[in-house]
Structure 1
Amino acid sequence: MNREYQTIVLAGLLHDIGKFLQRGDFLRSLKVAGKHPAVSAGFIKAWHQVFEKVADVQLLIELVQRHHETNSFPPELQVQQADPQIRPLAYLVSAADNYSSAERGEQSGEYRDYKTVPLASVFARLKLNHPTPEVYHYKLHPLNPVNSFPQPFKALDPQQTNKYLNAFGREFAKMADSIKLSDFACLYTHLLSLLQRYTWCIPSNTQELMPDISLYDHLRTTSAIAACLYRYHKETGTLHEKAITDKNSNKFRLVVGDLSGIQNYIFDIANIGVGGVAKRLRARSFYLNVLSEAISHRLINSFDLPITNVVMSSGGKFYVLIPNLPGSAEKIDNWQNELDQWSVNEFNGEIIINLAQTTFNGQAFNHFGEILAELADGLNCRKSTPLKGYLVNNDAWVTERFTRDQPKIAAGLCRSCHKGAVSYIDDNGDGLCRHCQRDLHMGSLLPGASYIAFTRSNVPAKYQSTTFQIYDNYSITLFADAPDQEYPAYLVNKLTDSDVGEIANHPALPKLVANYIPLAHEDYCSGCSGCHDEKPVPGQPVYFDCLANRARGRKLLGYLKADVDNLGQLFVFGLREEKADRNSISRIATMSRMLDLFFSGRVEQLLNNHYDSCYTVFSGGDDLLIVGPWDEVTKLALQVQREFTEFTNNNKNITLSAAVSLLKPGIPVSRSVVVAENALEMSKETVLKGESEGRNQLTLLGRTFKWSKAAQLLERAEQLTAWLEADILSTGFMRKLLGFFTMYKHYYDRGDARGLKYLPLLTYTVTRYFPRMDECSGDKLDALLWTQNLKQLDHDELIYLDLLVKYALCAKE
């Protein structure tokens, strides 16, 4: 980037920082009175030494000061009153600001004190089939998933706000004294990280009736749009007012990238070697995540754009905003062909990177959700012709490319995937291919990794043992501690929290990752069938058999699979309102980031702090897959749903479906996941009696039910288990209840009156099993009364009797 370009990108990022700073006192006695553009300019003046090595400070001051055209601002703050030499650039930043917040929410009927207005939950606005809930707001906290739940309050405490602002000031001053200020990428990413940490919970417009766009997301998308506009107008020779203010020209191109074949690739691991699955499963999921990141980095690098132009990225999918320059479409199409060939060479076509693109003008930012819908159609079309760039040439099949040369198999085929040639022999004598060997090595390092460093350079020899090739010349290195100055990183992601202050020598961003894996310790395992007379090594991932051995009752694994219902519809239609659409790029970016914060950040915290025997296969974006002892995973499912509901402002329009499948640890992971996927489909598709649609449900032990019943049913199941353990009820009696339930189901499902014969049979069995009621007391009386209640045909627990009994039998054995 040239100096002028860097100044534009910084101006987009900092143009509205005054909205945050004017809420209280700040270091260096910064003047915070007056309009927010003046405060933004004052901030840059006060800290000019931070920016002067990479930007034209005087130009930067002018651009952040003059990014409004409205007459509500005095002339010294208006774009149109800028010096003619810089006016085009001022209009450029102003246009980026307007496009980022393309639709303004309904204005409040009266003035609001900007110092006390909190950020509203963006999820409260979503609407599909249900009314929207009461709007909750966010307290001021440095970004941390546990503090990112909206709460029912209306105004911030100015004193607390002032303390919060001063904490930001101290961290900013520390950053200014420690990082390499002459490195633009280092300064830009550390600024971006600090803004994310502190302004994620600050509204970008306090005078809206429902201020639900985060200032952080408005700043980063404004910076991204400004970068696109500058590149477009600079390279097309149109860097003048008339062209910049033209909203009808297609200056923008949005590219989506998506990895296909993820599930099959991750789970195509044979159950061989001591701990092999436990180490390699997480590694494969992690590798595909960083592959998606590296592909998005390659795209912004090829168009000379900052990291903010990756406007959304999670769950193996990314969206990148680029300028619509001449030849851009062909450049991306050619790259797609290269990716297709690379997919075949690297993965035999099992993992495919699909790209889709669309162009749009400035006015289209008013309906950014429609742009996403158009991209989704293009992506689906692309997925229907996988590897076309490799298999088709001039509209004809390249037939010789439909077969692959067999690898040299002098040492045999890989014992894990049975596809690649053996290139490595593990500690158990099993021959592995280079992919499976990479997974095994990466899996052993991941538990201790707190940082991912991305590089396009050759790394020094001392780092090579923890470095992995990802794509082309892009590699990552895993670090337990912050990388030192010698490492040639173009970006370092911190995986554990949002404070990246210790990574002073490199560009750095927080990237919370659900990476929890149970690790063995000296007393972890008392010996189980999966250990094969050898316990897991302390500090390394435990075996799946060990996880099953920690289950209550039957030694089974639970596979928890869950995802958000109707997510595509929520992004496209959920923000539409009668008066106007509310799906600006900044609002959609806020929603996407917050969803990922829950699945990547909060789920990780739950596992670390409460469910330490559960193993993260993946969790991010809008879905998760977690394996663990069946009883612990079942409790986790309920807590995830309960917290997801709170996290999304108790909005009935955004729901979660999930399934817990109970399986023996010896069943291959690939087959187990298919079972879990089918169970999740039951949660999505099963329409219960009295309901109009499926979804928003849990499937457990073959039964599907609404979340609203889940806690009550599991509480009863635990009660049955307690009665079994106390010999108040017997296993034989419980099995008879299962038989009676089968009869009842004939009546309930088909209206067959013959099923009602369960009533006299139940009465007879209870009479024989229990003494007279007046001779029962305590728990035995409770058990008798419960069984008597099963004679009520509409009893909720009778409808799910098989679930209750099966749960109790699993817990008791």
Structure 2
Amino acid sequence: MTDRTKEKVLILGALFHDIGKFEQRCTKNPDKKKHQVLGVDFVDSGLLKDKFIRILGEDGFNSFKNIISEHHRSKTIDLTGIVQIADHLSASERVNKESDSDTGTYIDWSNKHLSSVFSKIRLMSDSDVPPRYFRQELLTKDKENYEIIIPEELTKIDIKGGQYAYKANIFEKFTNDIDTVLSFYQEDEDFGNLVNVLLMVFEKYLWCIPDFTGSPATDISLYNHLKDVAGFSHAILRNRSESQDSTKLNLIIGDIPGIQKYIFDIVNTKPAKILRGRSIFVQVLTRLLASKFLSGLGLYECSLIMQAGGKFYILAPSTSDIKNAFKTIKEEIEAYLFDQFRMDLAFNSAIEQFDYIDLMEGKTSFGQIVEDASFTLNRNKNKLFYGRLFGQNESLNNFVWKEEYLPVVEGLSDNMKCKVTDKPIRDKYEGKIPTYDENNEEKYLDVTRQVEIEFKIGDKITGDNVVIPVLGNGLSIDADRIERIKDFNKRKSSLQSKVLLNPELSELLELSRSGSQILKETHYLQVANFCSKFADKDSVLPFDQIAKFNEGAEYLTLIKGDIDNLGLIMAYGLSRDSESAEKGMSAISRTTTLSNHLKYYFSFFLNGFLQDWEKKDKENKVYTIFAGGDDLMLITPQSSAVKLLAELNEKFNDFVCANPEVHISYSVTHFKDHTPIRLVADIAEENQKEGKSINKWEQLKLVKDKNKEAFLSKNDKSSVFVFDTPIKNNELRDLLNELNQIVCWVKEKKYISLGIIRKLLYVSESLRKYEKTKDPNFLIWHARLTYLVNRLLKDKNNKYKYDETPEIGRFFDDVLKINKNESTDLKQRLYPLICQTIFNLRNIIGE
């Protein structure tokens, strides 16, 4: 076999080495065949055999089958031996148990549901989180099916009964889809695209399938396992092409720093389309940067082990050519970003070498490798554009460059500035975007070419199944030709490189069966992009229209959230000490499964959840700015913000199996629709920082004392910062219920007037001042509130004046318990509760 054929045999062998397990899960394996036998039967079937032979040749096909049949027994250093090593690296503790089963050790193989890896995360706690399991359902873009990624507390009866498991017909559909994908392959240049689409099929079917059924706590998906084994195998093969003894590999991280700053760098007061376009653009750019590295390093999609937000991770060999290629690609990217963005966008990267034998023997963990690479990445932040500024041709021109801008007209310098970013427009980099004046007449604004591109992205991308064509350099977007897949397929240019945004696999395969070349030169990207639209047209609601859906004050709210301590969770959350029974917890595929499930939550789930949430109430409008990695940014009417957060946070808590060490911190920032979004973003960032710093020193003391409760939600950040007040996430539902109750009392005029609410605001402000200063003068709030209640709400017998609404009395009694020895949890949320009540009642009472 040629080296090229060996490469293809190895990658396909690694991808299909455990495919027999999927048939076992679907068909219940009536003949009790081992997965290796079923795997060989699958690829050797009449439906698929000829297609594999066309790709690999006769000899290659036989080697391919040998990998599938012998990957547990091989003692050689051939292709099968490489897959065996990669299998161990991907999920070492599972491989050991499977090996035990071959010696006759009894293992219960009936655990066919994948448990969530979030139940395994521990930072300092020693408490077990009960496992939750995923129903076996296809991962499609059907927004009605979004809750499938929320694990459930299935009983043993549920699991053994199989009512939530795949049936045999699913395996038949899988086989047909694989047949379609293999039929797409016509020439050697199609191999990379073939791997891409195979992985899409695998993800659709195998995301919820455990790679191992010998434990009720199995939490590595078969999809991630097969993908990671293929990535490891390819890297090891490339190493051995240079040195048979090399056990070194590289982890490459690429990152676009300052994404949020770039997205929000807008002064235009009607930013909806631009903001949306910028968010999608940077996510597409991240995908293109990752693809450029894969192509330049001679790797495939299986080597892209994680991608989230503006960051990606690639598993690469450690050969002599890799570092040179890494340096060349990085400099090409820096040159492009410098040319197009003049440092408004930058690229940071790191390459970290590790020994995979140390990983196999437990001397290090994959989390630790990621942490080491991240440390290098963080250090390299001080070297952005280093190649451009300190390259081989060192000169003053590297630091000072001549720039040609649009000429000034009539002595007014503003004409040369972009009307969206307020930055000078370079000559030959100008663009225009449409807008409408007060008479609804169309006119055009002078902007930079990049802003024009982002405007078109925001204008044209209003749903899923979108094609984004890519120009010849592999990094620039052809925004004029963005369109739906069904329309793009009619063009002759389907061979052009492209990114498919939130594609539906079934549609792509149907097009491929009909002869379309839509799968060629294609990359795939899942993003959260749901936005409320006009009822009568496919156009996103602008901010001034969203504001009209408020109850009360017509303000908007920027919700900003991020997962607390995600770096620690990725690096150490799945580590166990050497004496632990779970010391193999940090296998690479457990980490990639965790990363993938977060991706599902912040794209597939969020899109479906927001669409469903919007349907519940006419006020429930939402605009997604960005969601990915550990970040979330949404805009809603102010009166809907707490309601949305309460529901969304409850879903996240279910998603992470109610693990008290995994939580999100949010900030809530109210603003008028015409406020420059750049200013709003700055305020939101400060709110986020202040919210996260509330328990900082107390928590550090707990960590220093090795307190096992240091990262539990009650002691960690895990709060919503609203109206300058942090409220614990588990109090959101109480806040919402109290808010709805008070608003109802005032609207129905049940003894509570807006005047009383304003007096409560004064009381709550005095309470806040006392808490901050401990000045006893501010304790006057209690006497004032007591006088208010006695005068307006109670009768001469010191009883509340009404019996039909006893909740009013209970509420005021709870307020009066604050700062007394009596128990009440209302203290922290009283101020934001009253502020939000006033917001919700503004423009309603007294009209």
TM category, shorter: 0.7 to 0.9
- 1:116-131 equivalences in 2 (<5 Å): 116-130=111-125, 131=127
1:639 partnered with 2:647? yes
Instruction: Tell me the number of residue pairs that the alignment of Structure 1 and Structure 2 aligns.
Output: 757
Q: Pick the aligned partner of 2:680 from 672, 678, 681.
A: 672
1:334 partnered with 2:328? yes
188-197 vs 58-67, which deviates more? 188-197
1:263 partnered with 2:271? no
Shift of 1:97: 1.6
Partner of 2:341: 347
Question: Equivalents in 1 of 2:52, 2:740: separation in Å?
Answer: 62
User: Per-residue CA shift, 1:541-579, capped at 9, x if unaligned?
Assistant: 222111111111000001000010000100111111133
Shift of 1:780: 5.5
Cα–Cα, structure 1 residues 647 and 797, in superposed 2: closer, same or farther, change >3 Å? same
Partner of 2:617: none
Q: Is the 8 A contact 1:565 1:655 kept in 2?
A: yes
> Percent sequence identity over matched residues?
23
Cα–Cα, structure 1 residues 689 and 250, in superposed 2: closer, same or farther, change >3 Å? closer
Specify the code of the residue in structure 2 equivalent to 1:777.
Y
482-491 vs 363-372, which deviates more? 482-491
Cα–Cα, structure 1 residues 571 and 764, in superposed 2: closer, same or farther, change >3 Å? same
The alignment partner of 1:661 has SS state of: strand
1:220 partnered with 2:211? no
Question: Equivalents in 1 of 2:5, 2:469: separation in Å?
Answer: 25
User: Per-residue CA shift, 1:134-177, capped at 9, x if unaligned?
Assistant: 11122211125421121122553465577534213224225515
Aligned-CA RMSD value: 2.9
Q: Pick the aligned partner of 2:627 from 619, 622, 646.
A: 619
Q: Pick the aligned partner of 1:19 from 15, 18, 21.
A: 21
Q: Pick the aligned partner of 2:467 from 428, 452, 459.
A: 452
User: Per-residue CA shift, 1:490-522, capped at 9, x if unaligned?
Assistant: 565351555453342415676432111222234
Partner of 1:782: 807
Q: Is the 8 A contact 2:431 2:451 kept in 1?
A: no
- 1:315-714 equivalences in 2 (<5 Å): 315-366=309-360, 367-393=365-391, 398=396, 400-409=398-407, 412-419=416-423, 420-421=425-426, 422-424=430-432, 426=434, 427-452=442-467, 455=470, 471=475, 478-482=482-486, 483-484=488-489, 486=492, 487-489=494-496, 493=500, 495=502, 497=504, 499=506, 500-504=508-512, 505=517, 506=519, 511-522=525-536, 538-578=537-577, 579=580, 580-611=583-614, 613-687=621-695, 693-714=715-736
User: Per-residue CA shift, 1:352-403, capped at 9, x if unaligned?
Assistant: 0111101122224341111111111111111122221112246978465245
Cα–Cα, structure 1 residues 359 and 746, in superposed 2: closer, same or farther, change >3 Å? closer
Cα–Cα, structure 1 residues 255 and 3, in superposed 2: closer, same or farther, change >3 Å? same
Question: Equivalents in 1 of 2:634, 2:554: separation in Å?
Answer: 17
- 1:748-763 equivalences in 2 (<5 Å): 748-763=771-786
The alignment partner of 1:124 has SS state of: helix
Partner of 2:792: 769
Cα–Cα, structure 1 residues 758 and 174, in superposed 2: closer, same or farther, change >3 Å? closer
Q: Is the 8 A contact 2:564 2:718 kept in 1?
A: yes
Question: Equivalents in 2 of 1:296, 1:509: separation in Å?
Answer: 10
Specify the code of the residue in structure 1 equivalent to 2:779.
L
Partner of 2:411: none
Q: Is the 8 A contact 1:300 1:322 kept in 2?
A: no
The alignment partner of 1:743 has SS state of: helix
Question: Equivalents in 1 of 2:155, 2:830: separation in Å?
Answer: 45
The alignment partner of 1:657 has SS state of: strand
Partner of 2:737: 715
Specify the code of the residue in structure 1 equivalent to 2:283.
N
User: Per-residue CA shift, 1:409-439, capped at 9, x if unaligned?
Assistant: 3563221112224432534232122111111
Shift of 1:755: 2.9
Shift of 1:286: 0.5
Q: Pick the aligned partner of 1:94 from 76, 79, 84.
A: 84
Cα–Cα, structure 1 residues 266 and 748, in superposed 2: closer, same or farther, change >3 Å? closer
Q: Is the 8 A contact 2:388 2:398 kept in 1?
A: no
1:48 partnered with 2:49? yes
Shift of 1:184: 2.9
Specify the code of the residue in structure 1 equivalent to 2:446.
G
Question: Equivalents in 1 of 2:220, 2:480: separation in Å?
Answer: 33
Q: Is the 8 A contact 1:554 1:812 kept in 2?
A: yes
Shift of 1:455: 4.9
1:231 partnered with 2:238? yes
Question: Equivalents in 2 of 1:106, 1:59: separation in Å?
Answer: 24
Q: Pick the aligned partner of 2:218 from 204, 211, 215.
A: 211
Question: Equivalents in 2 of 1:37, 1:52: separation in Å?
Answer: 19
1:192 partnered with 2:196? no
Cα–Cα, structure 1 residues 779 and 160, in superposed 2: closer, same or farther, change >3 Å? closer
Cα–Cα, structure 1 residues 634 and 14, in superposed 2: closer, same or farther, change >3 Å? same
Shift of 1:753: 3.2
Cα–Cα, structure 1 residues 191 and 158, in superposed 2: closer, same or farther, change >3 Å? farther
Question: Equivalents in 2 of 1:544, 1:3: separation in Å?
Answer: 55
Shift of 1:656: 0.8
Question: Equivalents in 2 of 1:186, 1:344: separation in Å?
Answer: 30
Partner of 1:529: none
1:139 partnered with 2:135? yes
Question: Equivalents in 1 of 2:478, 2:433: separation in Å?
Answer: 27
Shift of 1:449: 4.6
User: Per-residue CA shift, 1:437-480, capped at 9, x if unaligned?
Assistant: 111211111104523356565xxxxxxxxxxx861699996332
The alignment partner of 1:204 has SS state of: coil
Cα–Cα, structure 1 residues 159 and 697, in superposed 2: closer, same or farther, change >3 Å? closer
Partner of 1:465: none
Shift of 1:808: 0.8
Question: Equivalents in 2 of 1:654, 1:602: separation in Å?
Answer: 18
759-768 vs 119-128, which deviates more? 759-768
Question: Equivalents in 2 of 1:683, 1:785: separation in Å?
Answer: 30
Cα–Cα, structure 1 residues 489 and 96, in superposed 2: closer, same or farther, change >3 Å? farther
The alignment partner of 1:698 has SS state of: strand
Gaps of 5+ in 2: 141-145, 409-414, 435-441, 615-619, 703-714, 843-847
The alignment partner of 1:227 has SS state of: helix
The alignment partner of 1:666 has SS state of: coil
Question: Equivalents in 2 of 1:640, 1:456: separation in Å?
Answer: 38
The alignment partner of 2:489 has SS state of: coil
Cα–Cα, structure 1 residues 162 and 383, in superposed 2: closer, same or farther, change >3 Å? closer
Question: Equivalents in 2 of 1:756, 1:472: separation in Å?
Answer: 62
Shift of 1:250: 4.2
Q: Is the 8 A contact 1:453 1:476 kept in 2?
A: no
1:253 partnered with 2:261? no
Question: Equivalents in 2 of 1:269, 1:664: separation in Å?
Answer: 15
Question: Equivalents in 1 of 2:667, 2:41: separation in Å?
Answer: 54
1:735 partnered with 2:773? no
Cα–Cα, structure 1 residues 105 and 67, in superposed 2: closer, same or farther, change >3 Å? closer
Specify the code of the residue in structure 2 equivalent to 1:133.
V
Shift of 1:278: 0.9
The alignment partner of 1:639 has SS state of: helix
Q: Is the 8 A contact 2:405 2:416 kept in 1?
A: no
Gaps of 5+ in 1: 70-77, 81-86, 458-468, 523-537
Specify the code of the residue in structure 2 equivalent to 1:807.
Q
Question: Equivalents in 2 of 1:222, 1:476: separation in Å?
Answer: 39
1:164 partnered with 2:167? yes
Cα–Cα, structure 1 residues 189 and 800, in superposed 2: closer, same or farther, change >3 Å? closer
Question: Equivalents in 2 of 1:388, 1:764: separation in Å?
Answer: 68
Question: Equivalents in 2 of 1:60, 1:215: separation in Å?
Answer: 19
Question: Equivalents in 1 of 2:445, 2:170: separation in Å?
Answer: 54
The alignment partner of 1:58 has SS state of: helix
Question: Equivalents in 1 of 2:173, 2:307: separation in Å?
Answer: 30
